[in-house]
Structure 1
Amino acid sequence: MKENDHLVIRDLEINDTAHLVKWLSDPRVLEYYEGRDNPFDKEKVKEAFYGPRGDEVRCIIEYDGKAIGYVQYYPIEEEEREKYGYPVEIVYGMDQFIGEVEYWNKGIGTSVVSKVVKYLLDVMGAEKVVMDPQVRNERALRCYEKCGFKKVKLLPRIEWHEGVYEDCWLIEASKNESVEV
């Protein structure tokens, strides 16, 4: 996927291990992704990001040729769809982070999310794209709302993060509600 001359989303490669270790050992990134009490070393990255995980597609976000973040997307399995009220639809989930903090608050995350959502809806045939960000992650929620996501359901105390269960929002985007950014 290519957004413009600056932004490229490409498949994760083994050479990206060092980027993931750097990002996932930075407390500023871990505050919202995995937890500051859960830093990653090389072995943990290899286990979490390079092992088999079904139909999950793992990608690196590049900006001006520099790896700056990570995005993954995957079809939501039937059992989980039914649990959250999506019994017959084609639903994809996605997760992402900008690991190079100097690239935060520049609209890059909004461009990435918009691009991946458009791809999932237009190319992969998704009827909905869902995520479950923590309620306290206001910056991410603003980004997702700019990309057409709507809050569907509060998921109380669902994600173990830094020693407590955090509330998350189930949010969704669909073809007729997504926004081009």
Structure 2
Amino acid sequence: MLFQSGSLAVRELEQSDNIWLSKWLSDPAVLEFYAGRDDPHDLDKVNEVFYAQEDDEVRCIIEYDAKAIGYIQFYPLDDESKREYGYTDENENIYGMDQFIGEADYWNRGIGTLLVTSMVNYLTGDKQADVVVMDPQTRNARAIRCYEKCGFRKVKLLPQSELHEGKYQDCWLIEYR
């Protein structure tokens, strides 16, 4: 368990979680903003994308009342990503994060706000992050409202930075300091 905040818990991904990821990443409502509705993930694809990669991402499952409800990952930004985003202080400890709640019954209940706030506290406390960044699509208004409630602010428009459903989407670089 990485951390727990009331009914919310975040733990590292286990192989048996591939069934949850496949379920969530086959749901068009989840895929509308994460991966794309044209890119559903069966078990083989989940295993390839989430388990076969060697990188610095820490992949986790979000639980609420001991039920798996979503996914979150975090990672230190590499030098290339820092430059791309416009960060020039190489001594800054910058983390990125991405997440989704895969169980629609848990949407619009404040769980996303609790999750993002708790993860930011974990990253700034346990990982000594100076800055935490995300890059949501500009059209994902619900997520952006959540992130702004958690203290993130828009710092830079990233034009046509994410290929999603066959079209390049604009994203916001948002940060928590």
Same fold flag (TM > 0.5): yes
**Percent identity between the aligned chains?**
61
Tell me the residue number matched to 2:148.
145
Q: Distance between the aligned counterparts of 1:163 and 1:54, measured in 2?
A: 26
Tell me the residue number matched to 1:177.
none
Tell me the residue number matched to 1:178.
none
Partner letter of residue 33 of structure 1? Y
Q: Distance between the aligned counterparts of 1:150 and 1:109, measured in 2?
A: 16
SS at match of 1:53: coil
Deviates more, 1:52-61 or 1:157-166: 52-61
Tell me the residue number matched to 1:171.
174
Q: Normalising by the residue count of structure 2, what TM-score does the alignment of the two structures yield?
A: 0.96
Q: How does 1:26-65 map to 2 (within 5 A)?
A: 26-65=27-66
Q: Distance between the aligned counterparts of 1:17 and 1:157, measured in 2?
A: 31
SS at match of 2:144: helix
Point out where structure 2 has 5 or more consecutive residues left out of the alignment: none
Tell me the residue number matched to 2:4.
2
Could you list the per-position Cα deviations for residues 61-120 of structure 1 after superposition, in whole angstroms to 9, with x for gaps in the alignment? Answer: 001111000000000001110221212111000000000011000000111111111111
Q: Distance between the aligned counterparts of 1:110 and 1:53, measured in 2?
A: 30
Is 1:12 matched with 2:13?
A: yes
Partner letter of residue 38 of structure 2? D
Tell me the residue number matched to 2:136.
133
Q: Distance between the aligned counterparts of 2:54 and 2:149, measured in 1?
A: 30
Deviation at 1:140, TM superposition (A): 0.2
Q: Distance between the aligned counterparts of 1:120 and 1:134, measured in 2?
A: 23
Partner letter of residue 167 of structure 2? V
SS at match of 1:2: strand
Q: Distance between the aligned counterparts of 1:109 and 1:53, measured in 2?
A: 28
Q: Distance between the aligned counterparts of 1:146 and 1:51, measured in 2?
A: 35
Q: Distance between the aligned counterparts of 2:65 and 2:54, measured in 1?
A: 29
SS at match of 2:40: coil
Is 1:111 matched with 2:120?
A: no
Deviation at 1:53, TM superposition (A): 3.2
Deviates more, 1:46-55 or 1:160-169: 46-55
Q: Distance between the aligned counterparts of 1:78 and 1:55, measured in 2?
A: 13
Partner letter of residue 101 of structure 2? I
- Superposition misfits of 4+ residues, deviation over 3 angstroms: none
Q: Distance between the aligned counterparts of 2:54 and 2:122, measured in 1?
A: 21
Point out where structure 1 has 5 or more consecutive residues left out of the alignment: 175-181
